[in-house]
């Protein structure tokens, strides 16, 4: 089945710093989503971005479907940005999985 | 519009018991999916339901089952619980298949944290 790899696995920043999280996937996808998992476990939707670029405040994301990767940019990070960021894809062909998740990037923003 | 709701939020069971978890999708959403999250395996797809029919099923044993009702609410059941079933169970809904709306964006509920002793 499709493989989804996220990097880096862990990231520690000082408040105010910028960061880039990467998601590589091994096959064509119909859809790609970025989530932030809060401390209580809920997955918060950040972007639904099968291709192109989107921005939402300090966050932006770019997916280059032809090269099979997506990037999540966080600018001027805040302590509330801490948590785990997941990339998830819907495979285009074969398989039976609705969404395949990467293992996540754990972000810690220190004051 | 209310989000995806899941009940109960926390559950403690013992090995061998069975458990039923419930999920109510966003109003108007007819597609419901279930996922299991564990520290070791991460987030894994369990199954998807649309119009009371299972569309997809992940690689889980038959002890894991689900169903969807005519109002799109869904339940999942785990029989003969094992210690390894301790996990966060997440439900998601999307508007996929709804007339005029073909978005497959998944929206997740807060999850049910199951502990098996």
List the end-to-end C-alpha distance of chain B, in Å, as a whole number. Answer: 37
Cβ-defined contact of A98 to B37 (cutoff 8 Å): no
User: Chain A: nearest CA to B79, how far in angstroms?
Assistant: 22
**What does the alpha-carbon distance between residue A64 and residue A50 come to, in Å, rounded to a whole number?**
8
Tell the burial category of B100 from Cβ atoms under 10 Å away from its Cβ (0-12, 13-18, 19+).
exposed
pLDDT in tens, A5-45: 999 999 999 999 999 999 999 999 989 999 999 888 999 99
Question: What does the radius of gyration of chain B's CA atoms come to, in whole angstroms?
Answer: 14
Q: How confident is the model at residue A93 (pLDDT cuts 50, 70, 90)?
A: confident
Sequence-separated (6 or more) residues with CB below 8 Å from residue B39? none
Q: A103–B108: do the CB atoms touch at under 8 Å?
A: no
- One pLDDT digit (tens) per residue for chain B, 117 residues: 789 999 999 999 999 999 999 999 999 899 999 999 999 999 999 999 998 999 889 999 999 999 999 999 999 999 999 999 999 999 999 987 655 556 789 999 999 999 999
In chain B, what residues touch A42 (CB-CB under 8 Å)? 108-111
8 Å CB contact of A31 and B108 = no
Interface touch A98/B106, C-beta < 8 Å: yes
* B43 min Cα distance to partner chain A (Å): 6
């Amino acid at each position: 089945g499709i493989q989804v790899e996220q990097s880096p696995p862990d990231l520690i920043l000082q408040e105010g710093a910028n960061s880039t999280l990467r998601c590589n996937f091994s096959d064509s996808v119909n859809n790609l989503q970025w989530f932030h998992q809060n401390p209580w476990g809920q997955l918060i939707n950040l972007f639904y971005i099968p291709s192109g670029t989107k921005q939402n405040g300090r966050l932006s994301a770019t997916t280059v479907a032809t090269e099979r990767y997506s990037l999540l940019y966080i600018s001027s990070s805040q302590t509330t940005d801490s948590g785990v960021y997941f990339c998830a894809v819907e495979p285009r062909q074969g398989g039976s999985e609705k969404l395949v998740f990467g293992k996540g990037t754990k972000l810690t923003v220190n004051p | 519009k209310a989000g995806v709701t899941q009940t109960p939020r926390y559950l403690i069971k013992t090995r061998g018991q069975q458990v039923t978890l419930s999920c109510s999708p966003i109003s108007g959403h007819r597609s419901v999916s279930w996922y299991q999250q564990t520290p070791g395996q991460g987030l894994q797809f369990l199954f998807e339901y649309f119009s009371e029919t299972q569309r997809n099923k992940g690689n889980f044993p038959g002890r894991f089952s689900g169903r969807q009702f005519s109002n799109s609410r869904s339940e999942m059941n785990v029989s003969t619980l094992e210690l390894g079933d301790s996990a966060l169970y997440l439900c998601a809904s999307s508007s996929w298949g709804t007339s005029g709306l073909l978005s497959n964006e998944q929206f997740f509920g807060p999850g049910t944290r199951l502990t098996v002793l």
